[in-house]
Amino acid sequence: MARAGSGSGGERRRARGLPRPSAAASAAGLRERKKRQVRERILDVCARLFRSRGFDETTIDDIAAKVDVSRQTFFNYFPSKEAVLAEIGLAWLRSQGDLARSGAVAGHDRPESLAEGFRRVLRRQLEAIESDRDFMRLVFTRSGLFFPQGPQVGSGADEARLEQTRTFFAAFVGLIRVGQQAGRIRRDVPADQIAEMYVAVMVITIRLWLTGYWGDTGSLVERGMRAFGVLEDGLRPPGGTT
By percentage, how much of the chain surpasses pLDDT 90? 37
Evaluate whether 23-78 and 80-242 have a shared fold.
Answer: no
Percent of the chain residues topping a pLDDT of 70: 75
Q: Are 179 and 121 in contact (CB under 8 A)?
A: no
Instruction: Name the nearest CA neighbour of 129 among 198, 231, 195, 211.
Output: 211
What number is the average pLDDT over the span 12-40? 72
Which CATH number applies to 23-78? Answer: 1.10.10.60
| CATH dotted code for 80-242 | 1.10.357.10
Report pLDDT digits (tens) over 75-124.
999 988 988 988 888 888 777 767 666 655 554 445 445 667 778 878 88
pLDDT at 150: 61
Confidence of residue 156 (pLDDT cuts 50, 70, 90): low
- Residue 204 in 3-state DSSP? helix
Q: pLDDT for 159-206, tens place per residue?
A: 777 787 888 788 788 888 888 888 888 999 999 999 899 889 999 999
**Which amino acid type is present at position 174?**
G
**Domain spans of the chain, in order of start:** 23-78, 80-242
Q: Is the pTM of this model over 0.95?
A: no
Q: How far apart are CA 105 and CA 75, in angstroms?
A: 40
